[in-house]
Amino acid sequence: MKSLPADTYVDGVRAGDRAVLARAITLVESEHPRHAALAQEVLTRLLPSTGRSRRVGISGVPGVGKSTFIDALGMHLVGHGHQVAVLAIDPSSSVSGGSILGDKTRMSRLAREPAAYIRPSPSSGTLGGVARKTRETLLLCEAAGFDVVLVETVGVGQSETVVADLVDFYLVLMLAGAGDELQGIKRGILEVADMVAINKADGDNKLAAAQARSQYRAALHLMRPGAEPVVTTCSAMEGTGIDLLWDSVESVIAQREASGALAQRRTQQQVGWMWAMVNDGLRAALRAHPDVAALVPCLEQDVREGRATPTSAALQVLGAFLPRTQA
């Protein structure tokens, strides 16, 4: 990819130029070392133009209809004058590294809206279904003038709690009538969710959705007494319940703004982000270290065949990577 001058990125993003925004996102997603410094310069210069959006993470059990829901929610928001960015994290293949990247086809109405921008990104195996550069992409979208940023994650799992570290509000979509209502969601998700919404509450499924809502409310009251998330129902297909759902999202975020909790949350997220980048950098440096690279194949074989314990092998890797302490 041929880079643009930093001024072109900064001015283009601030002007809301979609073509420049797309290239800026590609720049921050790049793994090429020569792009890193330019990407950080662009982000640093754009920081004063960030922080003014509603950041909402959306997860859900398989088959819950996340993309259809986001399409309906996005259309509702656009209809009320919002500029909406959707960061759709697609599952990457563990074999080829490729991803589906089909969200634009699943959000057909929203994809045609001038006030909306959908950016699919491969998760590349990142914990929590959040692409490693999702945070930077979110900042770029804010600087481009989007006042609502929706982060759609890969799917529910214990690691999905990672998304809570970069959004203001975390919404989990669930289904009714799929067996044990509490089996499809992990405890870790329940502990960080700000809202549980039972989707597909339409037709013959309305009664089952209402029953599921009661079950979740009872379970969450026991698990998080005094801090229960909102539990509601909606139908993305019919568009019902979407307006009340978003009103609840706005109400919770507004309360956090007024109390100072939102500012504190974002500050903590920034520090967490810093350490996440440190950890990523250390892992990359360890893997690239020539002494480690020479050791790893033999050590892995020794662990597989029982000649070495994982702990002793890990200590050898660290010993090759870290400088020896002088006595």
Percent of the chain with pLDDT over 70: 84
- Work out the pLDDT band at 6, boundaries 50, 70, 90: very high
Which of 116-120, 157-161, 221-225 reaches the highest mean pLDDT? 116-120
Q: How far is it, in rounded angstroms, from Cα 110 to Cα 108?
A: 6
**Which CATH number characterizes residue 157's domain?**
3.40.50.300
Q: Are residues 150 and 240 in the same domain?
A: yes
Residue 145 lies in a domain: yes
Q: Are residues 243 and 283 in the same domain?
A: no
Residue 83 lies in a domain: yes
Say what the pLDDT of residue 326 is: 40
- Work out the pLDDT band at 106, boundaries 50, 70, 90: confident
Q: What pLDDT digit, counting tens, does each position of 121-156 carry?
A: 755 545 444 556 888 999 999 999 999 999 988 665
Where do we find the tokens 């092998």? 313
Mean pLDDT of the chain: 85
Say what the pLDDT of residue 161 is: 66
Going by C-beta distance under 8 Å and a sequence separation of 6 or more, which residues neighbour residue 63? Answer: 175
Say what the pLDDT of residue 179 is: 46
Residue 161 lies in a domain: yes
Q: Which of 258, 282, 313 is the last residue of a domain?
A: 258
Q: Are residues 115 and 188 in the same domain?
A: yes
Q: Are residues 276 and 234 in the same domain?
A: no
Which of 39-53, 153-167, 216-230 reaches the highest mean pLDDT? 39-53
Percent of the chain with pLDDT over 90: 59
Q: What pLDDT digit, counting tens, does each position of 176-233 carry?
A: 865 444 544 556 677 788 999 999 999 989 999 999 899 888 888 888 887 888 999 9
Q: Are residues 99 and 220 in the same domain?
A: yes
Q: How far is it, in rounded angstroms, from Cα 65 to Cα 72?
A: 11
Domain span at residue 305 reads 272-321
Q: Are residues 143 and 254 in the same domain?
A: yes
Closest CA to 104 of 91, 117, 115: 117
Q: Are residues 27 and 154 in the same domain?
A: no
Residue 147 lies in a domain: yes
Q: What pLDDT digit, counting tens, does each position of 232-289 carry?
A: 999 999 999 999 999 999 999 999 999 999 999 999 999 988 888 888 889 889 989 9
Q: Are residues 107 and 8 in the same domain?
A: no
Beta bridge partners of 60: 173
Q: Are residues 130 and 169 in the same domain?
A: yes
Say what the pLDDT of residue 53 is: 97
Residue 19 lies in a domain: yes
Q: Strand order of the sheet with strand 116-122?
A: 116-122, 84-90, 148-152, 54-60, 169-174, 195-198, 230-233
Residue 247 lies in a domain: yes
Domain count, the chain: 3
Residue 226 lies in a domain: yes
Q: Are residues 42 and 54 in the same domain?
A: no
Say what the pLDDT of residue 324 is: 58
Q: Are residues 114 and 164 in the same domain?
A: yes
Q: Are residues 246 and 283 in the same domain?
A: no
Cβ atoms of residues 55 and 130 within 8 Å: no
Residue 296 lies in a domain: yes
Closest CA to 149 of 123, 174, 116, 124: 116
Say what the pLDDT of residue 126 is: 52
